Structure 1
Amino acid sequence: MATMVESWLRLAAIPRLGAKSLGKLLSSYPPHKLLTLTDDELQAAGLKPEQLHAFRHPDERMIENCLAWEDAPDKHILTLADPRYPYLLKHIPSAPPLLFVEGNADALSSPQIAIVGSRHASSDGLSLAHEFAYQLVRHELTVTSGLALGIDGRAHRGALDGKGKTIAVLGSGLDKIYPFRHKALARDISASGGALVSELWPWSPPKPAFFPKRNRIISGLSTGVLVVEAAMKSGSLITARLALEQGRDVFALPGTVNNPYAKGSNGLIKQGAFLVESVDDILEQVGTLAGCAINHQLDVTQAQVLQEELPFPELLANVGNEARCVDVLAELCDQPVHEIMMQLLELELQGLVTAVPGGYIRTRRG
């Protein structure tokens, strides 16, 4: 019988399984339940024949290597069902089913500001990235970036110099640090209360296609994104666009008209991004979403305290904004179906959940 993490690894290994298909699968069955279904049931749930074959016949050595990787100190595999999975990231449209984390996994649930910008930044841009990161961590915010050369690296270093936490989201596996010259920086990040994060298998080399995808994680983890310097066509603008789609604030530092690496950030300001001159401009704006991140930090004890006055807190914690059927809730709570049905009835009578096609969702009052 596969363990919970093994089941998620098998699911994540299915080729070309998009967010919509994954969501359809998970709304009906938890991953380890999928193993008990017939081929016809799996195809009815959305798997194509080649995906079904990959799920039935996974690369067992790859899964064993992942589990062995997790056994090492300070290494974690977080699934969407893990209570440590960061709340803000979990609620973006294409949340990764797995996160490989090295360092402090709880840092992923701290209030974060992403700092992104050009790999070919000016000396002023580099200095500003360092200074803003330094000041943000002094206000107990975590700085998130992509470990790239230029603005990213200086933002990470500024956070470390400010004795704060910083998170690096990689476009490679965590055993293939890229760029290689930031290997020491990556080590300092994970050793100083921060974390390295990737959705890729630990041994995955960097590829151009991975970097735009990792940008959605940078913005998804964060309450806002600060663009320091960016050319008109850059990954930083992709991150800013994703941030807007995810309901995050976008901030930009204005640059001189003669700086080609400021045209993108200046363009963002023209389009409505917040013009930033000091850290106070950011702090005034991010309070609400930062508070949301604080209230949903992945400290399980704190979550229990927040919900202790509500009935059946474990069940309530597993009912979200997307419908979940009774069988799935019973599996997640490790309780008999009839017990879950009785609890759902009481929660529904109190107006905390409501029945919808496909299962139950949580009401605003809940």
Structure 2
Amino acid sequence: MGPSERAAWLRLLLTPGIGRTSARQLLACFGSAESVWQVDRTAWADCIGPAKAAALAAPIPDWDTELSRLETWLSQSTDRHMVALGDGRYPNSLLETPDPPLVLFVQGRVESLGQTLALAVVGSRNPTPQGAEHARRFAHALAEAGVSVVSGLALGVDGEAHAGALDGQGTTLACVGTGLDRVYPARHRDLAHRIAAQGAIVSEYPLGTPPLAAHFPQRNRIIAGLSQGTLVVEAALQSGSLITARLAADMGREVFAIPGSIHSPQSRGCHALIRQGAKLVESVEDILEELPGAQARTPKATSPAPVAAAGDDTDDALLRAMGHETIGLEALQDRTGMPTAQLMARLLELELAGCVGRLPGGRVQRLVRA
């Protein structure tokens, strides 16, 4: 894509009042982004109506600055790309969706957008320790099986999924709701650099776009569209992850959900999805058998628990007493009869071994390997 074509696409993106639907109408009428700006302006009204034609004719605020910012950003690295509709690098999986982005800004390995085996892994921004463990380990196993992991770079499950895929030496795609000249949340800056080196970060928003709340539900359609299916790890009933799952279902893609405790608010979204027809998932094999082309792939064995005996019901009375629900320290002491000092010391041992996680409010939870 040359400079004039990039400028034509950027003008379409930045013109107030011209959304994706109107832009696609213009492309259908005139054949290309450059042609839109070369025709007689009276033809715009015939295509999209007088009001939107007037918006198209209005000057774009700070146009020279915006164009310069894009060209400078692209020139700073060979791993930065602008991929528009009609570009051979544009992923077919997105073209098959009802509302494909006009343009994708990409940092990283642009060829990873076209990976045919891809699964979205999404969930709560505030997962339980078990939910975070599931996200990382499922993503790790998927990556080892050759499946690209797609998520949204958010805190919680998203970040754990990206990290798990990277640790599994696989490809991961982060779909974000800002311009690619900023990282949100800022604490994921190092993770974003790793993703760009081993996969790609993708946005439909021009450089300089801040993290506005309305952008994140919009980016969820890209997460779902780049994937053959969506796995929801943990989600409350009002979670944005359920938006991604609904979009995936509407696109005819698979939806998977990991069940949890009936007492956990973070499991209710997954349980609702299962009631609506999502596949209940207990292992990565449950997912692979549903992905076309993945049946012949076998993931490598996952790492054993750090302390084998600590995860075995028959060998650890404290873990047996905890069960698989979250529990307060007072209730756990009532069940075990252990003195406070002994209980706290043993819990610390199990936490350091990766067998127990702590939650807010002084509660603890047993961690089970995915």
1:66 aligns with 2:70: yes
Q: How does 1:149-160 map to 2 (within 5 A)?
A: 149-160=155-166
Q: Distance in 2 between matches of 1:280 and 1:290?
A: 9
Which of 173, 179, 187 matches 1:167? 173
- Residue 3 of structure 1 aligns to a residue whose secondary structure is helix
Which residue identity does 1:42 align to in structure 2? W
Deviations 1:167-218 (Å, cap 9, x if unpaired)? 11111111110111000000111112x0111111122111111111110110
Which residue identity does 2:184 align to in structure 1? Y
Q: 1:55 to 1:218 in 2, by over 3 A?
A: farther
TM-score, reference length from structure 1: 0.76
| Residue segments in structure 1 that go unaligned for 5+ positions in a row | 292-366
Q: 1:2 to 1:134 in 2, by over 3 A?
A: closer
The residue number in structure 2 matching 1:305 is none
The residue number in structure 1 matching 2:105 is 100
Contact 1:43 1:52 in 2 (8 A): no
Contact 2:288 2:294 in 1 (8 A): no
1:262 aligns with 2:267: yes
Contact 2:69 2:207 in 1 (8 A): no
Q: Distance in 2 between matches of 1:26 and 1:124?
A: 48
Q: Distance in 2 between matches of 1:161 and 1:2?
A: 38
Max radius of gyration: which structure? 2
The residue number in structure 1 matching 2:291 is 286
1:248 aligns with 2:248: no
The residue number in structure 2 matching 1:83 is 88
The residue number in structure 2 matching 1:38 is 40
Deviations 1:241-299 (Å, cap 9, x if unpaired)? 111122211110011101101100110000001111111111111216999xxxxxxxx
Contact 2:20 2:102 in 1 (8 A): no
Moved more, 21-30 or 155-164: 21-30
Which residue identity does 2:240 align to in structure 1? G
Which residue identity does 2:129 align to in structure 1? S
Q: Distance in 1 between matches of 2:253 and 2:195?
A: 24
Q: Distance in 2 between matches of 1:172 and 1:224?
A: 24
CA drift at 1:21: 2.1
Q: 1:277 to 1:49 in 2, by over 3 A?
A: same
Contact 1:134 1:159 in 2 (8 A): yes
Contact 2:14 2:60 in 1 (8 A): no
The residue number in structure 2 matching 1:352 is none
1:23 aligns with 2:24: yes
The residue number in structure 1 matching 2:144 is 138
Which residue identity does 1:81 align to in structure 2? G
CA drift at 1:16: 3.1
Q: Distance in 2 between matches of 1:237 and 1:138?
A: 26
The residue number in structure 2 matching 1:125 is 131
Q: 1:93 to 1:66 in 2, by over 3 A?
A: same
Contact 2:289 2:295 in 1 (8 A): no
1:179 aligns with 2:204: no
Q: How does 1:194-273 map to 2 (within 5 A)?
A: 194-273=199-278
TM-score, reference length from structure 2: 0.75
Which residue identity does 1:132 align to in structure 2? F
Q: Distance in 2 between matches of 1:36 and 1:57?
A: 20
Q: Distance in 2 between matches of 1:81 and 1:4?
A: 12
Q: Distance in 2 between matches of 1:196 and 1:119?
A: 19
Q: Distance in 2 between matches of 1:96 and 1:84?
A: 13
Q: Distance in 1 between matches of 2:271 and 2:59?
A: 47
- Residue 262 of structure 1 aligns to a residue whose secondary structure is helix
Number of aligned residue pairs: 290
Q: Distance in 2 between matches of 1:290 and 1:105?
A: 26
Q: 1:163 to 1:289 in 2, by over 3 A?
A: closer
- Residue 83 of structure 2 aligns to a residue whose secondary structure is strand
Q: Distance in 2 between matches of 1:142 and 1:52?
A: 39
Q: Distance in 2 between matches of 1:54 and 1:224?
A: 41
- Residue 81 of structure 1 aligns to a residue whose secondary structure is coil
Which residue identity does 2:47 align to in structure 1? A
Which residue identity does 1:221 align to in structure 2? L
Q: Distance in 2 between matches of 1:147 and 1:162?
A: 17
CA drift at 1:18: 3.2
Deviations 1:107-161 (Å, cap 9, x if unpaired)? 1111210000001101111101011100101111100100111100000000011
1:52 aligns with 2:48: no
The residue number in structure 2 matching 1:302 is none
Q: Percent identity?
A: 44
Q: Distance in 2 between matches of 1:15 and 1:93?
A: 22
Q: What RMSD, in angstroms, separates the aligned Cα atoms of the two structures?
A: 2.0
